Every structure is written in C-alpha cells, then in structure tokens.
Amino acid sequence: MSAELQTGVAYALLAGFLWGLTPLLLKRAIKYTNVSNATVVEQHVAVALLAGLAAHQGEISAVDFTGQAFWAFFLAGAVGASFGKVFYYRGIDKVGASKATSVKNSSPLLTAILAMGFLGEDVNGFIVTGILAIILGIAVLTQTQESGGRSVDRLQYYLFPLIAAMCFGINPIFKKIGMDAANAPVLGALITQTTALVFMIFLGKFMGLKPKWERMPAKALMLLTLSGATEAFGSLFTFFALGYGPAALLSPIWRISPLITFALARFTLRGVEVVTFRDGVAAGLIVFGVFVLSHG
C-alpha cells in the first residue's frame, strides 16, 4: 500500500471512530428531547464548526456555484447528510444506536456497485467477499426479537436504517466526484452539511422532522454539541480520505463505526437500550466485511 493510500486509510479510520461516537451521544440526548429537535440542533452545531474552519482557511471565498464540485457536494448533502441522516436518526430512536448503525453501514454494498459503474473503479474478489459478509451480518442482526420473545416485522422494524443505508451508499460517489473536480475538503464538508441543514429547515415536514421551539435541557444541549462536533469532523475526514484514494476502497473503511458503537454501547447506554451478544456478532460480521473490502 502506497504512503498516499495509507494517509487516506488513516483519515477514513478517524472518520469511522468519530461516527461511532455520534449515535451514542445522540441516543443519550434523546432522553431529554425528541429526535427532530436533536437532529436540527446537531446539524446547526456541525455547520457552525465547519463554517468557522472554512473561514479560517479562506476557502469560503473560493465557492463556485456553477462548478461541478459545488453541485457534487450539494448532492452529497441532499442525499446523505439530510435524508440519510434523518432516516438514520429515526432508526436510532426505533431500534437503538448499535442496531441502526450496523444496518446503516451496509451502504458500501451500493457504493461499490456505483463506483464501478460511474467512477470506473474495479470490483474484485475481496470486494465480493466483503459484500457477502455484510449481507450475512445484516441477516443475523434482523433476527432481533422484541422483549417477551415476539418476533417483529423485520422490514418495518429496520425500514428507516435500511433507507439510510441506501442514501449513505450514494453519498461517497458524489463526494468523490466533487473532490476530483476541486480538492477542497473543508469546503466540501461545509457545503454538504449546509445543504443538509437547509433541507431540514425547509423540507423537514416531508422528511418526518417536526422540531418544536422549546427550551432544551442543558444536558441535552451539551450532548448534542458534542454529537455535532463528531459529525462535523467525521464528515471532514471522509473528504480528506477521498482525496487520497478510490471511493470503493476508502468509504467502507469509515464503516468501522458499528464496532465502536457496539463496544461502547454496553457501558454508556445501560438503562437506555439493550445490546445483545447477537448484535455483537452481527456488528463483527459487518466490520469484517468492510475490512475485506478495504483490501480490495
């Protein structure tokens, strides 16, 4: 592996670690507020942090609203950072942080296919093996039962995180197109997250968002500020990663987040959600799948 690609892998790993922390912080915050308020507040924090960083580096003045990069970053925000995030967070509220994160991280399946078709990237035996491991992990995960042993409707139960997986699978393709057109990771992250915020504000009701203007407990605000920071820098590091290598190879690596989420959920979410051994096996299979994908 070249030094350049190693740098890309390092950034992808950092993004995965941060995004593994994000759902844990969000799940705690939801105890004191609702999903809609949490999503909007977190997004404001992420945009504010990235705007400050872009202004500090002088990248805001470089925005070209007619360029390919801008529209690629815009679409990345519209598809992944807005619709994907909303469905992901609704999934966290419905099935829990560890389960929703694991299902959402099946998105490399779609990314690999689209990267081959639209970016001309190769799909080899490693990628096929990784895809099969991810499918098996999802199959294990969706055997979940409600308390009392009653089976649930798997499709309905996991509908939100599955839609999120589709959105997040398309997202890296637009990011890569934008980075190839203009190597501006901070600007790319800012445009993506700002687009998501605009969609949430003006199209929120069509996305299931119903924020209420009410006083938020200080603890919820603190947790959402931390969650917004991990979201912002996680997003930024994905752009840095894609500046050093192909989407089909690097985007699966930041999907180590279910491993981080599962490892910490048992200690940080006691009394909030139950994490079983089966969930751990499923998360492990999905992480194994993306590990194999990273060697493709």
Look-up of token digits 């419905």: 94
Could you give the CA distance from residue 242 to residue 164 in angstroms, rounded to a whole number? 21
pLDDT of residue 152: 46
**Nearest residue to 293 (alpha-carbon basis) of 170, 164, 144, 112:** 112
Q: 43-74 in b/e burial notation, b at 16+ Cβ within 10 A?
A: bbbbbbbbbebbeeeebeeebeeeeebbbbbb
- CB-CB neighbours of 278 under 10 Å: 13
**Nearest residue to 211 (alpha-carbon basis) of 44, 25, 28:** 44
pLDDT in 10s for each residue of the chain, 296 residues:
678 888 998 999 999 999 889 888 988 898 888 888 888 899 999 999 999 999 998 878 777 778 899 999 999 998 887 888 778 877 877 777 667 777 777 787 788 888 888 888 877 777 778 777 877 776 676 554 444 444 445 566 678 888 888 898 899 999 999 999 988 999 999 999 999 899 888 877 766 777 777 888 899 999 999 999 999 999 999 999 999 988 888 887 887 777 777 777 666 555 555 556 777 777 777 778 777 766 65
pLDDT of residue 149: 44
**Nearest residue to 15 (alpha-carbon basis) of 199, 150, 172, 214:** 172
pTM of the predicted structure, to 2 decimals: 0.80
Look-up of token digits 């994490």: 275
- Structural tokens at position 21: 């922390």
- Structural tokens at position 168: 């997040």
The contacts found for 145-148 with CB under 8 angstroms, 24 or more apart, are none
Q: What is the DSSP letter of 245?
A: S
pLDDT of residue 234: 96
Look-up of token digits 């925000």: 77
pLDDT of residue 14: 95
pLDDT of residue 264: 77
Give the pLDDT confidence of 224-247 residue by residue, as tens digits. Answer: 999 999 999 999 999 999 999 888
Beta-ladder partners of 151: 145
